[in-house]
Amino acid sequence: MDLDIEHLRTWIGRTETAADIVTERLANGLRATLGEGPLVIGDEAPLAIQWCLAPPIVPAGQLGRDGHPVRGGFLPPVPLPRRMWAGGALRFHESIQVGDTVERHSRIADVTAKEGRSGALCFVTVEHEYRTPRGLALSERHDIVYRGEASGAPAKPAAIEQPEPQWREEITTDPVLLFRYSALTFNGHRIHYDRDYATKVEGYDGLVVHGPLQATLLLRLATRAIGTPPRSFSFRGINPLFEGASVMLAAARTEDGLRLWASRVSGETTMIADAVWS
């Protein structure tokens, strides 16, 4: 499929503003999904709560086949059918509290194309700023990648060598976890709950665990390991992670902070992350 990258790049600089309230129900829904106790108004909201705030809300008739809103509004109309959250970076400035009204300012920062192992790829970079009544709370870079139709056998998982972990935690993914996270983020992407679509249309081995959910789990591990949340946190998806299996979350000290990663039981790394406290 041909990409008119010059046309798509005309979206660079487009902006969007949205707002939402960090209600007790939303904050406690995320806490419960992650196995934690309740919060009340005025408490610090869970880390990564921003991914539950002000999602795009459109009528069902304005959704694409994958369950996402049809492209061409704020996001450019990339014609490649498969979309993934490739990674991103967070910079924490101030805490977000339960009860806050949070305003998100978003901007398309870049649109690029390249040829990958499976064909054409299109990368869209979105920058977000989240502000509360106290000022700037969080800056984010969101990396989206679009790919062509699935063809043939899945690509062999990329091998990533990791250091010896100093912290590790094992969790089990299941369809209920994926459903609850999709509901909290109002994410209609069918690869997370529609097994027939995920396997027969997009060519995955099963339901796919959300990229931001994996990032949230690694961010929580980093915070528990050091005792305070990091000042910055970056992450990148390496291989898809599927529901129904145990997942190893691990961390090791680096010169600047922590290197963290998630991996399948079979050993393949699915996400890497770096947390820094300076």
> Residue 260's domain is classified under what CATH number?
3.10.129.10
User: Reading across the β-sheet that carries 232-237, which strands appear in turn?
Assistant: 15-21, 101-116, 119-132, 135-147, 82-92, 232-237, 269-276, 257-264, 246-253, 167-172
Does residue 159 sit in the same domain as residue 86?
Answer: no
The mean pLDDT value for 140-151 works out to 91
- Residues 145 and 179 both lie in one domain: no
Tens digit of each residue's pLDDT (9 = 90 or more) over 190-215:
999 999 999 999 999 999 999 999 99
Quickly count: other Cβ atoms within 10 Å of residue 243's Cβ: 22
Claim to verify: residue 90 and residue 138 sit in the same structural domain: yes
Across the range 12-26, mean pLDDT stands at 98
Q: Residue 152's pLDDT band (boundaries 50, 70, 90)?
A: low
Is the pLDDT confidence value at 35 over 70? yes
Confidence (pLDDT) at 140: 98
Domain total for the chain?
A: 2
Q: Considering 149, 180, 210, which residue would you say is the last residue of a domain?
A: 149
Looking at the fold, whether 133 and 234 belong to one and the same domain comes out as: no
| Domain of 264, in residue numbers | 155-278
**Confidence class for position 244, pLDDT limits 50, 70, 90:** confident
Question: What was the pLDDT predicted at 71?
Answer: 85
Q: Where does the pLDDT of residue 119 fall: very low under 50, low under 70, confident under 90, or very high at 90 and above?
A: confident
**Does 126 share its domain with 230?**
no
The answer on 274 and 250 residing in a single domain is yes
Task: Return all residues near 47 (Cβ < 8 A) that are at least 6 apart.
Answer: 216, 219, 220, 223, 229
Does residue 111 contact residue 5 with C-beta atoms inside 8 Å? Answer: yes
Q: DSSP secondary-structure letter at 191?
A: G
Same domain, 127 and 18: yes
Stronger pLDDT, 51 or 245, i.e. the higher one: 51
Q: For the residues 112-138, what does the mean pLDDT come to?
A: 92
pTM over 0.85: yes
Asked if 82 and 188 sit in the same domain, the reply is: no
| pLDDT band at residue 157 using 50, 70 and 90 as cut-offs | low
Among left, alpha and beta (phi > 0; psi -120 to 50; other), residue 72 is left
> Cβ neighbours of residue 94 under 8 Å, at least 6 residues apart?
132, 134, 135, 136, 137
Q: Are residues 247 and 143 in the same domain?
A: no
53 strand-pairing partners: none
Q: Of 133, 149, 165, which marks where a domain is finished?
A: 149
Q: Calculate mean pLDDT across residues 24-37.
A: 97
Domain match, 127 and 159 both: no
Q: Minimum mean pLDDT among 115-124, 141-150, 172-181, 225-234: which range? A: 115-124
Regarding whether 85 and 12 lie in a shared domain, the answer is yes
Percent of the chain with pLDDT strictly greater than 70: 96
Whole-number Å distance between alpha carbons of 145 and 111: 10
Residue finishing a domain among 125, 149, 173: 149
- Beta-bridge partners for 253: 258
Does 50 share its domain with 113? yes
